[in-house]
Amino acid sequence: MFDAPKLNLSKSMAEFERGKKFTPGGVLGIRRPYNFVEGEYPIYFDNGKGGRITDIDGNEYLDYLCAYGPIIIGHREEEIDNAAIDQIRKKGFCFSLTQKIQNDLAEKISTLIKCAETTVFTKTGSDATSLAIRVARGYTGRTKIIRCGYHGWHDWCVEVKGGIPAKLYEDTLEFHYNHLDELEDLLKKHGSDTAAIIVTPIGHPLAEQCEYPKKGFLEGCRNLADKYGALLIFDEIRTGFRVNMGGAQTLFGVTPDLSAFGKALANGYAISACVGKRQFMKKIEKEVFISSTFFPNSIAYAAALKTLEFIEKNNVIEEIRRKGEWFNAELAKVCAAHKVETELSPIPQMPFVTFKKNADKTYKEMRKDFYTQLIRRKVFLQPYHHGYICYRHTEADLNETLKAIDESLSYVDGKKY
């Protein structure tokens, strides 16, 4: 059992103390230290290049969190950054009226995504899912939303309810992924007032394994939405431009009425999109209001167009899938060689090592020890969130990661819990 030496994180910790003076908690949301292993993970990064990142103490890591998904190709991709810089220098990017490049990007997306007859660009995943919900309510005249998955931080869907009156989320109902019976039961009770069913087409619950749809699940969601007159929304913020150029809806052959896309669309630039069939999206023309000073900001449009071009030109999605399938197969061999019981993501683009839950809950300590050892070996994965493989991860990177996982599991094997 080899206990890797603790990292020098003195600058990160000092900067965290400074940050807490000026920002509540120092850092926000899922980037807070307690979302990792406190005292073991860095809190501030300095730079990144390709599939690697460096913290402010100079520690370099293999990056498998990829900014929680936007880095589909790699950090600091010159082609993409140059497209954004050219837009700034040659055209400008923030105006009272819209630039033509918006139409260029919307037209490109319409050729890729089955339900994307029209597109509205936003900035975040929460923006895009919330716009889809507003469109659904505006079109149907109904109130209730039935959800499955994480859909952002806005009032109607956020898990942490502090500061939100109950009346703002009391019309949002939940069912579990791959449990079509739960959805049907909810619709039997609330179908006449259900505006939309929103679901992540690939399941990725917090701290639990990713999951493919069971046979008939997505088709069942489609059929039930039609039966009860609700709109079907796919939240493809994570799956879009990662599992298929047309998203999971193309991969699985089920077309929703509306979809939310983001993350990988522009390789890190701030952009998301609510896309959908014309008859529903038409409500945005007059009856459903949307406005933002920064939604028409064209820097991200330029980056997105170049990102999509790069993905197609370099067969990025197939390369990531191929690397992920090889990595998952090798990872399964590594894990099988250890006595500790692990569970692995079946999604090749989204690797994740979790520990099988047990009655005495020692799996939580195993998780903490494993991810402590892993970060000390300079592999950056999150204990409660699946990872991502990006285009710039090399075979050598993946082998280095497998070695680090093997050593970290050996440490867990050798401890008494």
| Three-state DSSP class for residue 183 | helix
Number of Cβ within a 10 Å radius of residue 367: 19
pLDDT at 1 over 80: no
Residues 360 and 255 occupy one common structural domain: no
pLDDT at 2 over 90: no
How far apart CA 126 and CA 158 sit, in angstroms, is 10
Residues 304 and 263 occupy one common structural domain: yes
Domain limit, last residue, from 292, 313, 334: 313
213 inside domain: yes
- For 324-356, write each residue's pLDDT tens digit: 999 999 999 999 999 999 999 999 999 999 999
Nearest to 125 by CA among 249, 273, 245: 273
- The identity of residue 101, as a single letter, is I
Residues 213 and 143 occupy one common structural domain: yes
Strand partners for 211: 203
Considering the chain, what is the average pLDDT of its residues?
97
Cβ–Cβ < 8 Å for 212, 347: yes
- The identity of residue 159, as a single letter, is E
Range of the domain at 330: 10-75+315-413
* DSSP H or E segment with residue 120: strand 118-122
How far apart CA 364 and CA 161 sit, in angstroms, is 25
Residues 300 and 336 occupy one common structural domain: no
388 CB-near residues (< 8 Å, 6+ apart): 64, 65, 66, 69, 71, 72, 242, 349, 350, 351
- For 382-402, write each residue's pLDDT tens digit: 999 999 999 999 999 999 999
pLDDT at 59 over 90: yes
Inter-axis angle of helices 316-336 and 299-313, to 10 degrees? 70
* Range list of H helices, 93-206: 101-112, 125-140, 180-190
Domain limit, last residue, from 279, 294, 313: 313
- Give the distance, in angstroms, between the CA of residue 380 and the centroid of all CA atoms in the same chain: 16
| This prediction's pTM | 0.97
pLDDT value of position 219: 98
Residues 40 and 96 occupy one common structural domain: no
How far apart CA 295 and CA 272 sit, in angstroms, is 9
Residues 320 and 309 occupy one common structural domain: no
Cβ–Cβ < 8 Å for 230, 183: no
203 inside domain: yes
Confidence of residue 369 (pLDDT cuts 50, 70, 90): very high
- For 63-84, write each residue's pLDDT tens digit: 999 999 999 999 999 999 999 9
Residues 270 and 343 occupy one common structural domain: no
- CA angle 398–402–403, rounded 5-degree value: 120
* Range list of H helices, 35-100: 78-86
Residues 54 and 195 occupy one common structural domain: no
What value does the mean pLDDT take over residues 180-185?
Answer: 98
4 inside domain: no
- Domain of 327, CATH number, reads 3.90.1150.10
Q: How many domains does the chain have?
A: 2
* Structure token pair of residue 28: 């926000």
Confidence of residue 143 (pLDDT cuts 50, 70, 90): very high
What value does the mean pLDDT take over residues 26-47?
Answer: 97
pLDDT at 172 over 80: yes
Nearest to 61 by CA among 327, 409, 387, 412: 387
pLDDT value of position 145: 98
What value does the mean pLDDT take over residues 146-150?
Answer: 97
Residues 127 and 70 occupy one common structural domain: no
- For 253-306, write each residue's pLDDT tens digit: 999 999 999 999 999 999 999 999 999 999 999 999 999 999 999 999 999 999
| Three-state DSSP class for residue 199 | strand
3 inside domain: no
How far apart CA 127 and CA 300 sit, in angstroms, is 15
Cβ–Cβ < 8 Å for 135, 276: yes
pLDDT at 130 over 80: yes
Look at the chain and count its residues: 417
Confidence of residue 366 (pLDDT cuts 50, 70, 90): very high
